[in-house]
Amino acid sequence: MSGVDLGMPTFPDAAHRAVRDAQLRHNLGRATSTIRNKRAAVVDELDDWEQLRASGAAIKAHTLSRLDTYLERFESAVTAAGGTVHWARDAAEANRIVTELVRETGETEAVKVKSMATQEIGLNEALASAGISAWETDLAELIVQLDEDRPSHILVPAIHRNRSEIREIFRREMSGSGAPAPADLTDDPVQLAEAARHHLREKFLRANVAISGANFAVAETGSLVVVESEGNGRMCLTMPDNLISVVGIEKLVPSWRDLEVFLQLLPRSSTGERMNPYTSVLSGVTEEDGPSNFHVVLLDNGRSEALADEVGSQALRCIRCSACLNVCPVYERAGGHAYGSVYPGPIGAVLTPQLYGVESEDTASLPYASTLCGACYDVCPVAIEIPELLVHLRHRTTRERKGWFDRLTGTAMRGLGWVFGDSKRLGRAQRIASLGGRLFGRRGIGRLPWPMSRWTDARDAPAPASESFRQWWERNRTGSGDER
């Protein structure tokens, strides 16, 4: 796939603004610490958590290694169960397929259950341009949609909003698209949930088309599995007569036996629960029970190219639990919007550049949005080596983007390699650095003029020591002053 401009500021620019928003940092810090603690508690209950984690990684790796076989098996099973499978190479093709399917029903609106894949391809915007209204029914997605905002977290898209802000959004925006919020609405969670339920109910009752994603797709039976906490997913999958599901091709698992592993890993890693409140399974069409028209759009959109990358392909094991976001110090301070993608946080920093390419400035900056502390790997339920992937993508970005700054950096690194390759050259460089240290004193190296400001703007560097360890050793232990 060619490079795609996400139309957003680069991560450094967006993060620079986000870290100055004290309210955002407070909201994120409180929410992520709550989820993080819940996850740790329920994970500690299982003695075999590491074995489950290894099993999840192995199943995903096996499935991806034989993805063509399992995709064909899934298509055959869906067709045999009365459904129809469509193949979409990219976002434009997927949007065209879904738009045509909705038009064939004669409807001009649809209800949606939270779907990262449809957000990835910009489906709501594509449907709107065709005169079709798509109503989000997940509470957090509803908040984001009413406020014409963007999701900032995989699991909790409105995590950057607190209760008071949500109350104001409901009061201000609900009447423009349906049942209004009560005039005396407070920021009590029960009242907020009731207002959303009342607003959405009329849309559920009149909807004839539903659009969903899927957490998993079981190849052996052609089943789609949707796990959620509010019941809106079950209503979307069962009430309308027409169901269209947009599913990334990496969501497949071979069998129900394999699915059992992920139904233990996902709720504990995502919401810190032992099991999801609602687990809905749709296996084709059944007369007078659920939708009579069932379509699955299998979405590639860069996944095949990611799969061809021996190191990068492990990002496709992701089950969208968002555990890596909740432990990431960079995400907790910068927030999800800074990543400019529907996939924020550490997994977004490795997934987005692979789906969209690293040619554009915004995607190329994402692999650097990490301290490489490794906390993301420690909590990943399918053991994705995110730090390794970040380094791999940084190398790829440097190799494929040969701008003047990259060439300058390369020249500087080769120069450093030449210095470090000889003890005498290194000794002379250390003596020169020591002189610089006396010049800087204890102030350290601050912001240097352009173009070196591109390096020093994001890094603190102490002033060189007035005496190197090598000089100290020679002075105190050898007394010779000779360089070794």
484 pLDDT band (50/70/90 cuts)?
Answer: very low
Least confident of 204-213, 261-270, 433-442: 433-442
Q: pLDDT tens digits for 188-237?
A: 999 999 999 999 999 999 999 999 999 999 999 999 999 999 999 999 98
pLDDT tens digit sequence for 86-110: 999 999 999 999 999 999 999 999 9
Q: Which residues pair with 252 in a beta bridge?
A: 217
Pick from 323-327, 339-343, 358-362 the range whose average pLDDT is largest. 323-327
Mean pLDDT of 274-288: 91
Contact 259, 214 (CB under 8 A): no
The pair of structure tokens assigned to 52 is 């489950």
- Map tokens 């990068």 to a residue: 312
What's the pLDDT score for residue 274?
93
Alpha-carbon distance of 176 to 172, in angstroms, equals: 8
Asked whether residue 6 carries a pLDDT value surpassing 60, the answer given is: no
For residue 7, is pLDDT > 80? no
**Residue whose token pair is 């550490």:** 346
In the prediction, which pLDDT does 479 show? Answer: 58
What percentage of residues in the chain have a pLDDT greater than 70? 95
Confidence of residue 480 (pLDDT cuts 50, 70, 90): low
Q: What is the pLDDT of residue 456?
A: 76
Output the CA–CA distances (angstroms, integers) from residue 143 to 75, 137, 146, 199, in the order listed. Answer: 35, 10, 5, 12
Strand order in the sheet with 293-299: 84-88, 293-299, 242-248, 209-212, 109-112, 133-136
Cα radius of gyration (the chain): 26
Mean pLDDT across 26-36: 92
pLDDT, one tens digit per residue, over 240-250 is 999 999 999 99
Q: Which of 155-169, 329-343, 468-482 has the lowest mean pLDDT?
A: 468-482
Which residues face 461 on adjacent strands?
445
Residue that wins the pLDDT comparison between 366 and 4: 366
Helix 139-146 to helix 163-173 angle (10° resolution) is: 60
pLDDT of residue 136: 96
pLDDT given for residue 4 in this prediction = 45
pLDDT over 90, % of the chain: 72
> What was the pLDDT predicted at 442?
59
| Helix (DSSP H) and strand (DSSP E) numbers for the chain | 23, 10
Q: What is the mean pLDDT of the chain?
A: 91
Residue 261: pLDDT over 50: yes
- Helix, strand, coil shares, percent, the chain, to 5: 55, 10, 35
pLDDT value of residue 103? 97
Q: Tokens in use for 225?
A: 């599995």
For position 447, what pLDDT does the model report?
A: 75
Q: Is pLDDT of 441 > 80?
A: no
Angstrom distance (rounded) from CA 289 to CA 142: 27
Residue 270 has pLDDT above 60, yes or no: yes
Hey, is 110 helix, strand or coil?
strand
Q: What is the mean pLDDT of residues 361-369?
A: 91
Q: How confident is the model at residue 432 (pLDDT cuts 50, 70, 90)?
A: confident
